[in-house]
Chain A
Amino acid sequence: MLKRVSAKIMDALPVFFKKMQRNNKQNRKRAEPLLDSGRRHDGGVTPLHQRDESNLNGFKKKALYSLALLTIFFAIAITRLWFLQIQEGERYSQLADSNRVRALEIVAPRGNIYDRRGREIVTNRPSFNVTWVRESNRIDDAWLKNLTRILNQDASVLLERVRKMSGVPAHIPVRLAEDIDWETVARIENSRMHLPGIKIEVVPLRVYHYGNLASHLIGYLGEISREELDRMDRQVYRGGDIIGKMGLERLREPDLRGEKGREFMEVNALGFEQRNLKGLEPLPGNDLYLTLDMELQKIAEDLMAEGNRAGAVVAMEINTGRMLVLASAPALHLEEFIGGISHRAWQEMLDNPLHPLVNKLVQGQYPPASTYKAVTALAGLSEGIITPESTYYCPGHFRFGNRIYRCWRRGGHGHVDLKKAMAESCDVYFYNVGLKLGVDRIARYARMFGFGALTGIEMEHEKPGLVPTADWKRRRHGEPWMEGETTSIAIGQGFNLVTPVQLNMMTAGIANGGTIFQPAIVERVVDPDGQVIEVFEPNILHRLTGQGRWLKLIRDGMVEAVNGQRGTGRRARLDAEGIIVGGKTGTGQVVRLKQYRGLKDEDIPYRFRDHAWFTCFAPANNPEIAVTVLVEHGLHGSSVAAPIAAAVLNGYFEDKFREQARAVEQEELRSRQPVMLSEDMLIDVGFPVYEDDDTWLPAGQPSH
């Protein structure tokens, strides 16, 4: 079969070519030799076959094989081409593009952060880096000399930087100097000709206008870690990116980061740029306007720093939940975090007994101490255990079972009603009320204020605190609740734990008549076009319904505590401004060690000293702000914490009155300005013309 086919082709091929030849010589009629097509028809199949077999020249047969060979290889080549160019063409086309097109990412400027009055907290500034593209691997001496002179850098420093990059592909520039000043930039631009390959790269850097103020809240930036890279959107982040590591910089990363720009460059095989293809401008991040008042924040942090204190200061608008001050002391040194913090600085912070890394506002959990008496009082009133008139006698101690619980005042308070109990912080009064209530009822009211739960404030690693119940103790410790422990709970000691932000929420709730607002930090988010894309709205967490009357009584007690003759919070008075403050002190026991009892304050080791609380609201008649101060191991709320709270309140009201005065002034100004200037009048006045300076001229004006 095969033989016959091959014989036919054999036969046909010369005929085919002969025919072609004949066509070439169209008009020449000549007898064609070896043309046997006629005979093929009359001869039939068999004789033809025999004749071919005998006539075949060996070479011609081989030549036929070679034709087959040629055809096979031709077919393979075409098939392969089809595969590469048609079937896989799209893929190879992309490969070719990824060969030649390099995308450079342009860092987007991060969004700015402002305070409630639009004061800049964090912004960007351009920083100029000097980079060099290694177009050749030789360093010209004159070039290097020029560069060292302009940068005022030792040649060895520059060469070391080049050496460090020796393993990196040549098209990736070497960074020779970072954050150079304007003058150096100008000098480099001027001597462009003598510095081939040198470029100035502009990178936005963070500027902290208030230094370390609100550092825990603002947070810091750092290079993205491997783990973050795995977690984040691969479309957005690449290795080496700068990302928010803490605080709002981290939590608001999606708002602040903006969108990277892209620069597309056609490069050759060596990686050098051939031409720019069209790119994409970076889109700056959204600006954050915080509810914070940085001037108040400054007052609070300065006072905390003055005594080298650890602790927290919180201030909040009681009717909205806007946070005005959120200070955790000691502050972080944000500058140390720029470009990655050193191991040594980090270790120092870890070893610091004041724990600067802990954001004490939400991560610090402390026994609320006497400030918690407000909860016990509300529970007592609401549950009908006490009335404002009911009194208990305080001899300075309280006997329960075979144990004696002391009042903080050894001599006792005598007959104590609610107001006096709050004002003078009588422990015995609340032992009595607490025991009648029982731990679980106290817990219910504590929960209403938001204790024992996360507030949801925009801060990281928030702790919920702890509101103990009998059930909780059984689960946690496997022991039944001892009634004696309730006495501790009633005065905010024992198992109770709260964060400063939670405690301030309680005060705000008492002050505003029972609405617990979620603490808010961000007032609004504004995109680069000025469009407001997110705006603060008060978020109510709880409502203490039907408690208004009782809360008023507690407020009265707290006002008495500040303004009464024997009140514990007298140091928080704001007589100068004519503002009446209501507040409550607290002294949180750290340990109950006999050996330190009766010792002078200075003789107790720092870490065993009591925590000092003060929480307050003002003005008493129509409260608008609540302030809470915690000083870790500050010993006495009345003497240490209260003055700080007073200073914050003072700052707040001073500012408020100033603003009001200014508003009045402006209102007057406006009313005194009856005629609007019309355009005609402006022309009459005429423009001043300065011969030597035409820069002020509006566009279109001829210059002289």
Chain B
Amino acid sequence: MLRFDRRLLQHFDWVMLLMLLLVSGMALINLYSATYSADTGVSGIFYRQLLFFTVGLVSIVLVITQDYQKLAKLGFVLYFFTLILLLYTLLFVKTIGGAQRWIDLGFFNLQPSEPAKLILILVLASYYANTEVAGGYRLRDLIKPVILTIIPFVLVLKQPDLGTALILVVIFVTLTLFVKLRWATIGILGGSGLLCAFVGWKYLLKEYQRKRIETFLNPESDPMHHGYQILQSKIAVGSGQVFGKGFLEGTQGHLHFLPERHTDFAFAVWAEEWGFAGSVFFLSCYFFMLIWGVNIAMSAKDKLGTVLAFGCVMLIFWQAVINLFMIMGLLPVVGVPLPLFSYGGSSLLTNMLAIGLLMNVRMRSFPASPVPSPDFRP
């Protein structure tokens, strides 16, 4: 049995758990509707996600029992393990729908690029926590984190999965900006980033990826494909109006006008069925969950805790922003799910683990209690 400091129980992060349950509850309700069919009733997808959610809760319990310091030390092992999985995916997995993303484990299709995000945060956080540079990081101090990011980035991009690759870069950028950088470093990185974007656009992006961005910038040029998805998504959201069409009553979702309605466009189903009121309620819960995460980062007892917590918040935050903005027609169609909301086992587990890490940091941010609890036995 795992050794567990019962003191930690006193500091258990009920707030985060409550927010997690609220958000996940809405996610499950929405998934039920999004996958419900009048002919076949409740979809198996719903039960699968329910199972993943339960597994996620168990994983959270496991994660919070271990000090995040210990977990960070494990980070590099996990990192290499993930790289191997990504490589394996690229080399041995057959293409599904033009991409190689999933490893078939029999009971479950693992998408290694999902945990890769969290593990990147783990290794970056432990690197930044262990290297203290007076006056901010220089360019040469960033060589290691850049390499740490670039390897999974390239592997994911080759799958090809632009959305996840983008998230990896965003995580790196946010975390690196979070730890102190020299202005020169920022300038050089920014400049080379722009250069990379240019080169990437010109030579690296696949035709369909370029098309998506072009479509977004000029929706009339491609009305039947990605412009169509965005349009249908906007119609779904907009037609929800103030109070929505009601549970299971969304026409855009149930009549298949909405693409990917239980994965990337899940929130559009929510907005259609619950309207502005439901959407604001959901976003407020989500927002509060993230703010609570920032609070955890600010109150962490050490640098690793702060950077790790911050990374977890940013992981969820950026994915959410990209996903929501895509659904509301503010961004091009990028395959990024809404964390804790979209269907997908790998994504759900990863993001629940991120929440678990946040709770972990929170529980260990309190100084040892001067007065031991009456039932405390060392």
Partners in one complex: yes
Q: Is A85 an interface residue (CB 8 A)?
A: yes
Binary contact readout B265-279 vs A (1 if CB under 8 angstroms, 0 otherwise):
000000100011001
Does the CB pair A269–B294 fall under 8 Å? Answer: no
On whether A88 and B251 interact (CB within 8 A), knowing A80-B328, A99-B257, A270-B256, the answer reads no
Does the CB pair A85–B306 fall under 8 Å? Answer: no
* Residue among A14, A33, A80, A97 facing the most chain B CB atoms (10 A cut-off): A80
Please indicate the chain A residues that have their CB under 8 angstroms from the CB of B287 in the complex: 70, 74
B246 to chain A, nearest CB (A): 14
Please indicate the chain A residues that have their CB under 8 angstroms from the CB of B15 in the complex: 20
Please indicate the chain B residues that have their CB under 8 angstroms from the CB of A78 in the complex: 280, 283
Q: Is B340 an interface residue (CB 8 A)?
A: no
Does the CB pair A96–B178 fall under 8 Å? Answer: no
Instruction: Classify the interface of chain B: helix, strand, loop or mixed.
Output: helix
Does the CB pair A96–B242 fall under 8 Å? Answer: no
B298 to chain A, nearest CB (A): 4
Q: Within residues 36 to 89 of chain B, which ones have a CB less than 8 A from any CB in chain A?
A: none
Please indicate the chain B residues that have their CB under 8 angstroms from the CB of A81 in the complex: 237, 271, 276, 279-280, 283, 328
List the count of A-B residue pairs having beta carbons below 8 Å apart.
Answer: 133
On whether A96 and B275 interact (CB within 8 A), knowing A62-B178, A63-B294, A85-B240, the answer reads no
Q: Is A60 an interface residue (CB 8 A)?
A: yes
Please indicate the chain A residues that have their CB under 8 angstroms from the CB of B354 in the complex: none
Contact of A85 among B241, B290, B321 (CB under 8 A): B241
Residue in chain B with minimal CB distance to A74: B287
Residue in chain A with minimal CB distance to B237: A84
Does the CB pair B297–A86 fall under 8 Å? Answer: no
Please indicate the chain A residues that have their CB under 8 angstroms from the CB of B251 in the complex: 96-97, 99-100, 266
Residue in chain B with minimal CB distance to A98: B235
A55 to chain B, nearest CB (A): 13
Q: Within residues 81 to 124 of chain B, which ones have a CB less than 8 A from any CB in chain A?
A: none
Does the CB pair A268–B299 fall under 8 Å? Answer: no
B238 to chain A, nearest CB (A): 3
Please indicate the chain A residues that have their CB under 8 angstroms from the CB of B297 in the complex: 59, 63
Please indicate the chain A residues that have their CB under 8 angstroms from the CB of B32 in the complex: none
* Residue among B239, B287, B303 facing the most chain A CB atoms (10 A cut-off): B239
A270 to chain B, nearest CB (A): 7
On whether A74 and B256 interact (CB within 8 A), knowing A63-B298, A84-B328, the answer reads no
* Residue among A74, A78, A93 facing the most chain B CB atoms (10 A cut-off): A74
Contact of B239 among A17, A24, A64, A89 (CB under 8 A): A89
Please indicate the chain A residues that have their CB under 8 angstroms from the CB of B242 in the complex: 85-86, 89
Please indicate the chain B residues that have their CB under 8 angstroms from the CB of A70 in the complex: 287, 290-291, 294, 317
Please indicate the chain A residues that have their CB under 8 angstroms from the CB of B221 in the complex: none
Give the complex CA separation of A559 and B282 in angstroms.
100
Q: Is A165 an interface residue (CB 8 A)?
A: no
Please indicate the chain B residues that have their CB under 8 angstroms from the CB of A267 in the complex: 255
Please indicate the chain A residues that have their CB under 8 angstroms from the CB of B279 in the complex: 81, 85
Q: Is B353 an interface residue (CB 8 A)?
A: no
Q: Is B314 an interface residue (CB 8 A)?
A: yes
Does the CB pair B238–A268 fall under 8 Å? Answer: no
Binary contact readout A49-90 vs B (1 if CB under 8 angstroms, 0 otherwise):
000000000111011101100100110111011101110111
Residue in chain A with minimal CB distance to B286: A74
On whether A66 and B294 interact (CB within 8 A), knowing A58-B180, A85-B275, A85-B276, the answer reads yes
Please indicate the chain B residues that have their CB under 8 angstroms from the CB of A95 in the complex: 235, 238-239
Residue in chain B with minimal CB distance to A20: B15
Residue in chain A with minimal CB distance to B309: A63
**Number of contacting residues on A, CB 8 A?**
43
Contact of A13 among B177, B295, B317 (CB under 8 A): B295
Does the CB pair B275–A80 fall under 8 Å? Answer: no
Q: Is A346 an interface residue (CB 8 A)?
A: no
A502 to chain B, nearest CB (A): 60
Binary contact readout B173-209 vs A (1 if CB under 8 angstroms, 0 otherwise):
0000110100000000000000000000000000000
Give the complex CA separation of A64 and B295 in angstroms.
9
Give the complex CA separation of A20 and B299 in angstroms.
14
Does the CB pair A85–B271 fall under 8 Å? Answer: yes
Q: Is B361 an interface residue (CB 8 A)?
A: no
A94 to chain B, nearest CB (A): 8
Give the complex CA separation of A33 and B237 in angstroms.
47
Please indicate the chain A residues that have their CB under 8 angstroms from the CB of B317 in the complex: 70, 73
Q: Is A19 an interface residue (CB 8 A)?
A: no
B97 to chain A, nearest CB (A): 18
Contact of A96 among B177, B252, B290, B299 (CB under 8 A): B252
Does the CB pair A66–B241 fall under 8 Å? Answer: no
A32 to chain B, nearest CB (A): 12
Q: Is A657 an interface residue (CB 8 A)?
A: no
Q: Is A91 an interface residue (CB 8 A)?
A: yes
Please indicate the chain B residues that have their CB under 8 angstroms from the CB of A91 in the complex: 238
Does the CB pair B276–A274 fall under 8 Å? Answer: no
Please indicate the chain A residues that have their CB under 8 angstroms from the CB of B280 in the complex: 78, 81
Please indicate the chain B residues that have their CB under 8 angstroms from the CB of A143 in the complex: none
Please indicate the chain A residues that have their CB under 8 angstroms from the CB of B290 in the complex: 70
B268 to chain A, nearest CB (A): 10
On whether A86 and B276 interact (CB within 8 A), knowing A63-B298, A91-B238, the answer reads yes
Residue in chain A with minimal CB distance to B258: A269
Q: Is A92 an interface residue (CB 8 A)?
A: yes
Contact of B313 among A66, A268, A274 (CB under 8 A): A66
* Residue among B177, B238, B306, B367 facing the most chain A CB atoms (10 A cut-off): B238
Residue in chain B with minimal CB distance to A25: B10
Please indicate the chain A residues that have their CB under 8 angstroms from the CB of B238 in the complex: 84-85, 88-89, 91-93, 95-96
Please indicate the chain B residues that have their CB under 8 angstroms from the CB of A97 in the complex: 239, 251
Does the CB pair B255–A80 fall under 8 Å? Answer: no
Contact of A268 among B235, B255, B314, B367 (CB under 8 A): B255
Give the complex CA separation of A86 and B237 in angstroms.
10
B74 to chain A, nearest CB (A): 23
Please indicate the chain A residues that have their CB under 8 angstroms from the CB of B21 in the complex: none
Please indicate the chain A residues that have their CB under 8 angstroms from the CB of B325 in the complex: 76-77, 80
Q: Is B28 an interface residue (CB 8 A)?
A: no
Please indicate the chain A residues that have their CB under 8 angstroms from the CB of B20 in the complex: none
Give the complex CA separation of A563 and B119 in angstroms.
121
Q: Is B234 an interface residue (CB 8 A)?
A: yes
Does the CB pair B257–A60 fall under 8 Å? Answer: no
B271 to chain A, nearest CB (A): 7
Q: Is B330 an interface residue (CB 8 A)?
A: yes
Residue in chain A with minimal CB distance to B283: A77
Please indicate the chain A residues that have their CB under 8 angstroms from the CB of B295 in the complex: 13-14, 17
Residue in chain B with minimal CB distance to A88: B238
Give the complex CA separation of A92 and B235 in angstroms.
5
Residue in chain B with minimal CB distance to A60: B298
Does the CB pair A96–B239 fall under 8 Å? Answer: yes
Does the CB pair A86–B239 fall under 8 Å? Answer: no
* Residue among B14, B299, B307, B329 facing the most chain A CB atoms (10 A cut-off): B299
A17 to chain B, nearest CB (A): 5
Please indicate the chain A residues that have their CB under 8 angstroms from the CB of B14 in the complex: 24
Give the complex CA separation of A24 and B279 in angstroms.
28
Q: Within residues 89 to 120 of chain A, which ones have a CB less than 8 A from any CB in chain B?
A: 89-93, 95-97, 99-100
Give the complex CA separation of A270 and B295 in angstroms.
48
Q: Within residues 293 to 312 of chain B, which ones have a CB less than 8 A from any CB in chain A?
A: 294-295, 297-299, 303, 306-307, 310
Give the complex CA separation of A31 and B287 in angstroms.
31
Please indicate the chain B residues that have their CB under 8 angstroms from the CB of A89 in the complex: 238-242, 276
What are the nearest 7 A-B pairs in CB distance?
A92-B238, A96-B239, A89-B241, A269-B256, A85-B276, A268-B255, A84-B238
| Chain B residues close to A by CB (< 8 Å) | 14-15, 177-178, 180, 232, 234-242, 251-252, 255-257, 271, 275-276, 279-280, 283, 287, 290-291, 294-295, 297-299, 303, 306-307, 310, 313-314, 317, 321, 324-325, 328-330, 367
Q: A66-B314, A77-B321, A82-B276 are in contact. List 4 more A-B contacts (CB 8 A).
A: A59-B178, A64-B298, A66-B178, A89-B241
Q: List 17 A-B contacts (CB under 8 A).
A: A14-B299, A70-B290, A70-B294, A81-B237, A81-B276, A84-B234, A84-B237, A85-B238, A85-B240, A85-B241, A89-B240, A89-B242, A93-B239, A93-B241, A96-B235, A266-B255, A270-B256
